[in-house]
Structure 1
Amino acid sequence: MKPVFATLLLICLVLISSFFDATVAGSDFCDSKCSERCKLAGVKDRCVKYCGICCEKCQCVPSGTYGNKHECPCYRDLKNSKGKPKCP
């Protein structure tokens, strides 16, 4: 019984570490894309925060610093609780 438990534990650790690596890589992508998108924003920290939320959900960020939301429909279609666009 102990070898089975040890094997399952090892498999779980490997799966968790691979998931963690994918999450870190995804956030690096979003950080770089959002800092580029928000570089001209008046309230940069808020822009980067909401852009990061949208990027994590949609896995894309439109090019440029404004507009071009047709490049990422998920990013374009996310709305806040008041029905206005969530993503900068």
Structure 2
Amino acid sequence: MKLVIVQFSIIFLLVTSSLFVLSTTDSSCGGKCNVRCSKASQHDLCIKDCNICCQKCNGCVPSGTYGHRDECPCYRDIKNSKGGPKCP
């Protein structure tokens, strides 16, 4: 009986830790994009595009509210359907 409880505890810890890693990844993009889009006139659109770019670029978002795109080449190089920059 004790073996079953130990096994259950180990499985529970593994599952909860993997869920924690997934949730912190999403929240790090959200936090970075909130800073990036804090002065945007179209805040909702900026947040949407920034989160898409952040996820594609493994969490990389340039610092500040504008510019600094060279900090994240992946973020800088994503284009929209018209060939312009997609990421704010």
Question: 2: CA distance between counterparts of 1:20 and 1:57?
Answer: 20
Map residues 43-82 of structure 1 onto 2, 5 A cutoff: 43-58=42-57, 59-82=59-82
Aligned-pair Cα RMSD in Å: 1.9
Normalised by the size of structure 1, how large is the TM-score? 0.77
Unaligned runs of 5+ in 2: 1-10
Report the count of equivalent residues: 79
Question: 2: CA distance between counterparts of 1:20 and 1:54?
Answer: 22
Aligned to 1:35: 34
Moved more, 17-26 or 64-73: 17-26
Question: 1: CA distance between counterparts of 2:85 and 2:19?
Answer: 30
Q: 1:64 to 1:18 in 2, by over 3 A?
A: same
The one-letter code matched in structure 2 to 1:62 is P
Unaligned runs of 5+ in 1: 1-10
Q: CA deviation at 1:24?
A: 1.0
Normalised by the size of structure 2, how large is the TM-score? 0.77
Question: 1: CA distance between counterparts of 2:75 and 2:39?
Answer: 19
